[in-house]
Amino acid sequence: MQTEVMGSSWSLPVTRDRTPDGRLVYVVGGQRYVEVPLGGEDAYRFLGELRLEMGGADFRSFVELHRAQISAAVLWRLGLGPIPQAPEEPVVVERARAELKTLFKAA
């Protein structure tokens, strides 16, 4: 059964605690909620959904405000940053060529 509340309502107090490994825990009504770090795919999905809910200018200003915490790959996938470049490693390329050359000689 649902109850309707008119006027101001009382909310449960929120306190903070820490896990043994130091992560922040929020305690609401006896229930403990631990912060979980997001990965790149989670951040992309969150920003994609946020983009649908916000106006264009608001979204761009939000991204600019948090640009330091958003990876280049996520910004690129959202169309807000340059194409990320893979670092060039000539040593790896030369080693791969040498291994292929040896493989083809053996064949």
Q: Is residue 93 part of a domain?
A: no
Q: Is residue 19 part of a domain?
A: yes
Q: Write out the chain's pLDDT in tens, 107 residues.
A: 555 555 566 777 888 888 888 888 888 888 888 877 777 678 788 888 888 888 888 888 888 888 888 888 788 888 887 776 666 666 667 777 888 888 777 65
Phi, psi torsion values for 64, nearest 5 degrees: -60, -40
Count of the separate structural domains present in the chain: 1
Segment (H or E) for 92: helix 90-106
Domain that holds residue 22: 14-82
Three-state secondary structure along 47-67? HHHHHHHCCHHHHHHHHHHCH
Q: Is residue 20 part of a domain?
A: yes
Tell me, what's the pLDDT at 56?
A: 83
List the beta bridge partners of residue 18.
Answer: 24
Q: Is residue 87 part of a domain?
A: no
